[in-house]
Chains A and B, each alone.
Chain A
Amino acid sequence: MYGGGNTFEKIKAKDPNEEDPILLAEFEARIERGEKIEPTDWMPDLYRAQLIRMIEQHAHSEIIGALPEGTWITRAPGFKRKLALMAKVQDEVGHAQLLYSAAETLGKPREAMIDDLISGKSKYSNIFNYPAFTWADSAFISWLVDAGAIVNQVANSRGSYGPYSRALERICIEESFHLKFGHHCVIHLATGTPAQRKMMQEAINRWWHPMMHFFGPPDKMSVHTDTLMKWKVKILTNDETRQQWLDMYVPKVWELGLTIPDNKLRKNEETGKWEYTEPDWEEFKRVINGDGPCNKERLAVRKTAEERGRWVRKAILAKDAHYVTPLA
């Protein structure tokens, strides 16, 4: 899963105007024709830097995203839920693996990316800095956060960088199962006992604002994205993805008799656009920069896992000093 990312921050890279104009023109013409850029092809520095940041953030979001739901595997109610949630969270870790590999093709090793995650230098989707208190929170994530991820990922799979676009195609197939699973869980809670229903409504109330943040700051606030769109690094703007998601899922939430904690939320039939209360973008900035309810906890888990696992990684890199027989 993945959200619109941190477009507040500028990126350090060579200005495209300083690139070789002939190579740049060829590069842009290829993208214009719908060709994919492959790892060994020439690419502008800014393109490489943006993609590394984007794919890396996406990969981090997958492993960090596995944590809030992961804690519900041991508590999932019944075999079917337990098995499905295990498979789902496993998929998310698999997505991280796939994405780190895609980012590595651009020249940044996985270890360096994970170091940057742990040091806080590199970001991940803001939504995972919020806690999953109940089983219904976990259901919300599986359904609606994954739905948001799908909107982003389907768009980005049409992007110009070959390895990322192919990874996303595969990921999207798995995400669609996550969404079905999540929807199934939410339906059961929403149509269940009064206590189950209440639990589901409370989860929606808690997650609504982080979910509106999920797609990133409004276009009018984002750092200039024209070049990124021209290069097909970004395919849809943050507002476009948010609108798509609202259009697909708000009716489905209402259909279940659940409410959404925003009394301004409605579809303007003239413009075809959803209107809503602008979420607090100062909070978004604060949380993405480390001051959310779970930032410390999430990174601590990752850091501990890295530290506890270091001896394993060292041992497999050891030059097989005592090696006896080949593996079966």
Chain B
Amino acid sequence: MNIEAIKNLLYKMADDQLILGHRNSEWIGQGPLLEEDIAFASMAQDKVGQSYTLYQMLNELGEDEPDKVAFLRMAEQFHNSQFVELPIGEYDFSLIRHFLFDTADYYRFDMLINSSIEPISLLARKLKGECRYHSMHADGWIKKLGNGTDESINRLQSALSYAIPYALGIFEESKMEDTLIEENIFGGEILLRERWIEHIDKVISQTQLVLPDLALESPHFGGRYGIHTEHLQPLLNEMSEVIATDPTADW
């Protein structure tokens, strides 16, 4: 069992969930309708909760405790994809990101059910259920707004075209990729990407939207290696604003 490879996998998943959960929580009180405020808030809780569970697993593998790891690292120590750290923007972008990310997330957990590492497999089984609802929520809205008015279709199309290179960054392979696959810890990013494409293509084809030709896109890589956009550090500064005033205090 390669502990380093497992940690690597858990870190990128935990960081993705934490940062996107944090971003989605920014929609509370700002959504286009109350029902969506509530939906984004609820998914944000699931995501932050999932990251907490993953950091707890990392803690058991010898990493620092979740509050320290999540709240007190610098941007270059984070392994999330750049996609999740982008600001929430307008609802069109947030919805497209929710769709593209949560589809990947769902299939990632689905694949991890077959992990050779039992705690990961058990966890995946548990979290896949939550992720399924997120993915269904996204699909429903993409179909609705992707077939809505000219404005909603145009907005979603531009958001989709903008988001795709970042979304492809989710599947950046880490340096332990071969080990993860060889040891059956995780089926690998390439396989995940295939399943992801199949799903988003199916949903998009039921709308007036056009999926850009993925072969022509150059993915925004780097996140998995600690290279981030200018948006991550300010997010982290905000997240640690209170706790960093006294990390040893009991809050």
Contact = CB atoms under 8 A, between A and B. Distances in A.
Given A90-B41, A313-B33, A75 B147 contact: no
Contacts of B189: none
Contacts of B67: 78-79
A94 interface: yes
B91 A309 contact: yes
A327 B48 contact: no
B41 A328 contact: no
Interface in B142-166: 143-145, 147-149, 151-153, 155
A18 to B, nearest CB: 37
A323 B139 CA distance: 14
A66 B28 CA distance: 8
Interface in A189-245: 189, 192-193, 195-196
Interface stretch (A27-35, A81-89, A147-155, A251-259): A81-89
A84 B191 CA distance: 36
Contacts of B37: 90, 93
B52 A83 contact: yes
Interface string B17-58: 000001001101111111111100110110011001001000
Contacts of A308: 30, 32, 90-91
B215 interface: no
A22 interface: no
B66 interface: yes
B239 A305 contact: no
Contact of A78 (B28, B71, B139, B241): B71
Interface stretch (A4-12, A43-51, A267-275, A314-322): A314-322
Contacts of A323: 147
A313 B32 contact: yes
A74 B149 contact: no
A73 B242 CA distance: 11
Given A90-B45, A323-B147, A75 B246 contact: no
A300 B66 CA distance: 37
A86 B44 CA distance: 8
Contacts of A75: 238-239, 241-242
Given A74-B22, A83-B52, A86-B41, A135 B148 contact: no
A316 B41 contact: no
Given A83-B52, A311-B149, A315-B144, A78 B33 contact: no
A76 B100 CA distance: 28
A100 B33 contact: no
Interface string B166-192: 000000000000000000000000000
Interface in A108-139: 135
Interface of A: 63, 66-67, 70, 73-79, 81-83, 86-87, 89-90, 93-94, 96-97, 100, 135, 185, 188-189, 192-193, 195-196, 301, 304-305, 308-316, 318, 320-325, 327-328
29 contacts: A70-B29, A74-B22, A75-B239, A78-B71, A78-B243, A83-B48, A83-B52, A86-B28, A89-B29, A90-B37, A90-B41, A93-B38, A94-B38, A305-B31, A305-B32, A311-B152, A312-B33, A312-B36, A314-B152, A316-B148, A318-B152, A322-B147, A323-B147, A324-B206, A324-B207, A325-B143, A327-B143, A328-B136, A328-B139
Interface of B: 22, 25-26, 28-38, 41-42, 44-45, 48-49, 52, 55, 66-67, 70-71, 90-91, 136, 139-140, 143-145, 147-149, 151-153, 155, 206-208, 235, 238-239, 241-243, 245-246, 249-251
- The 3 A-B residue pairs with the shortest CB-CB distance, nearest first, are A309-B32, A315-B148, A315-B152
